[in-house]
Amino acid sequence: MKWRIKKDNGKYRLSGGAICIVAVLSVLCLALIAFGTYYAILLSISSDDVPIVIRTPSEEITELPTLDPHLEILKEEPDDITEDIDDPIPGDAQNLPIYRQEPIEEDITNILIIGTDARANETSRGRSDTMMLFSYDVKNNKASLISFMRDTWVPIEGYGYNRLNATYSWGGVGLTINTINVLFDLDIQDYVIVGFEGMVGLVDKLGGIELSITDVEANYYNKHFGWGIEKGINKLDGERTLIHARNRKSNGGDFERTRRQRDIMLAVFKKIMSARDAQTISEFVDYAMKNVKTNMQPGKIFSLALAILNNPDLNINQGRVPADDTWKYANKDGKSVLAIDFKKNKVYLHSGLYMD
């Protein structure tokens, strides 16, 4: 199964969206670091202390995820698809551990990228408005980038049903990873987290990036932000990239916004792959590392990035969960969410990642 995402036309969002660009590219781009020169920087970012623990037999989850029977399935597109609906961040939020999972394939590395809307002057961890899986298969020389839609209505261990992005607010990256692993039978153990304010500086350090802008998007940006651009390839600075990445209102709701997010990540990756200027790379790496949290060890980051960036022909396939024809709009307490077929999406993920 080769993943080529179709033109999305539905709902969804990326609030901290562009932020995850910092995350994944911080990992991917470390290969450009000369041996040893930035090892101290790698040591400084690999200090997040979310533990990985083994479940006891009594804690194992054996029941398959099921759709919330209290959801009202909608026959038409809801009126609030351009709105981001967020529950309050609890004051008693926890930092839950990541449950250990045995690798499904030893040659495949799966990393959850979380972009949060937390700002520098806030004490809370914020919300995980971006959840993406970066998967690299060294044996088959392929990579995948998959968005998990924030409003997907899911069962969350210990909390009942809620939106997928509520997991980070309640239990940190541990609860988010554990929930995704349980829902789709995955083996994610590694993560990268980046806060809201890292995007602008990252893109500016690279001198801007080139993105394909649709006619609808161009008209929206010209009307609401006074950009004065046209349809086609446009060079965007950091501030404009962030606006583009967070755009849920021009068309397509969050489905289109997550597509924009992946486009941005690939554009930054392309810019780094083509940049051979030592100063540009040095400034990028230094800036990115100051905005990243990860549990990955420096050696793993370096070897993974080296393998990727030494492969200029690497093709990064795109995808999203829920996949086409596996979801419906639903109503929960007067607000729209996504009701998905968990089994079909598990098959979709495994066929793309593991070629099951």
3-state secondary structure 28-49: HHHHHCCCCCCHHHHHHHCCCC
pLDDT digits (tens, 9 = 90+) for 150-160: 999 999 998 99
Residue 218 has pLDDT above 50, yes or no: yes
| For range 194-213, the mean pLDDT | 84
* Cβ count within 10 A of residue 158: 10
Tell me how many domains the chain contains: 1
| Pairing mode of beta strands 292-294, 190-194 | antiparallel
Contacts of 312 (CB under 8 A, 6+ apart): 273
Please indicate, yes or no, if residue 74 is contained in any of the structural domains: yes
Q: At what angle do helices 198-205 and 238-246 cross, to 10 degrees?
A: 130
pLDDT digits (tens, 9 = 90+) for 97-151: 999 999 999 999 999 999 887 655 555 566 787 899 999 999 888 999 999 999 9
Please indicate, yes or no, if residue 5 is contained in any of the structural domains: no
Please indicate, yes or no, if residue 144 is contained in any of the structural domains: yes
Residue carrying structure tokens 């060079």: 235
Query: Would you list the DSSP string of 189-258?
Result: -EEEEE-TTHHHHHHHHTT-EEEEE-HHHHHHHHHHH-----SEEEEE-HHHHHHHHH--SSSSHHHHHH
Please indicate, yes or no, if residue 12 is contained in any of the structural domains: no
pTM equals 0.84
What is the pLDDT, as a whole number, of residue 42? 59
Please indicate, yes or no, if residue 2 is contained in any of the structural domains: no
Please indicate, yes or no, if residue 6 is contained in any of the structural domains: no
Reading the block at residue 89, the tokens are 């961040």
Please indicate, yes or no, if residue 11 is contained in any of the structural domains: no
- 81: domain CATH number? 3.40.630.190
SS3 for 329?
Answer: strand
What is the pLDDT, as a whole number, of residue 33? 45
Please indicate, yes or no, if residue 3 is contained in any of the structural domains: no
- What's the helix, strand, coil split of the chain in %, to 5? 35, 20, 40
Reading the block at residue 336, the tokens are 């729209």
The domain containing residue 260 runs over which residues?
Answer: 19-353
pLDDT digits (tens, 9 = 90+) for 222-276: 999 999 999 999 999 999 998 998 898 888 888 999 999 899 988 988 887 777 6
Up-side HSE of residue 6: CA atoms within 13 Å toward CB? 8
325 falls in which pLDDT band (50, 70, 90)?
very high
Higher per-residue confidence, 89 vs 263:
263
